[in-house]
Amino acid sequence: MQARLWPALLVILPVPIALTMWIPMENLPKFPLWCTPLTLAATFFLAQLGRDAGKRAEPALWQSWDGPPTTRRLRHRNRDLNPVIRVRQHEKLSELMHAPLPTLQEEIDDPIRADATYEAAVLFLRENTRAAALVFKENVAYGFRRNLHARRAYPVRRSPQTAPYSL
């Protein structure tokens, strides 16, 4: 609900606020009687459209980011994360899955297979941590940002950031 309704409410809320500026003062007490239901209806409608738009925007976002955030985080070639922390995460995840994650050399030799292994590891984590409150909150936050991003009026161009870590 938070990932779907809040982005829609943020998009629709300026409309009733702007309308209050044009309503004569003598009609202002009647304004909530007709505006509130319309705002709620529009919010629920936009919530559904926002999620659909967010899911449609996701592949392009992932392509521009060079993969899903969780897959990127697990890659050895990703310089956004301290390599010592990544090694520790790989060890723990391999232990939980009872399957090894690719080494740096395996990732260099076959990056497509390595990404498929990372995506499988992420799916394993998602399925096995569904009840974890923090994981749920992070998934909701990601959905909120994705859906709000899909509702923006104009594309935002960002320059690539330089990463602090190198291989």
Tens of pLDDT, residue by residue over 108-139, are 999 999 999 999 999 998 888 877 888 778 88
Sign of the torsion formed by the C-alpha atoms of 15, 18, 20 and 22:
negative
Q: Is residue 81 part of a domain?
A: yes
**pTM beyond cutoff 0.75:** no
Domain count, the chain: 1
Tens of pLDDT, residue by residue over 76-93, are 988 888 989 999 999 999
CB atoms inside a 10 Å sphere around CB 5: 18
Q: Is residue 54 part of a domain?
A: yes
Structural domain range at position 122: 2-23+35-150
What local confidence, expressed as pLDDT, does residue 91 receive?
A: 94
Q: Is residue 143 part of a domain?
A: yes
Region at 77 (left for phi over 0; alpha for psi -120 to 50; beta for the rest): alpha
Structure tokens at 146: 């994705």
Tens of pLDDT, residue by residue over 9-58, are 667 777 777 776 776 766 666 666 666 777 777 777 766 666 677 778 88
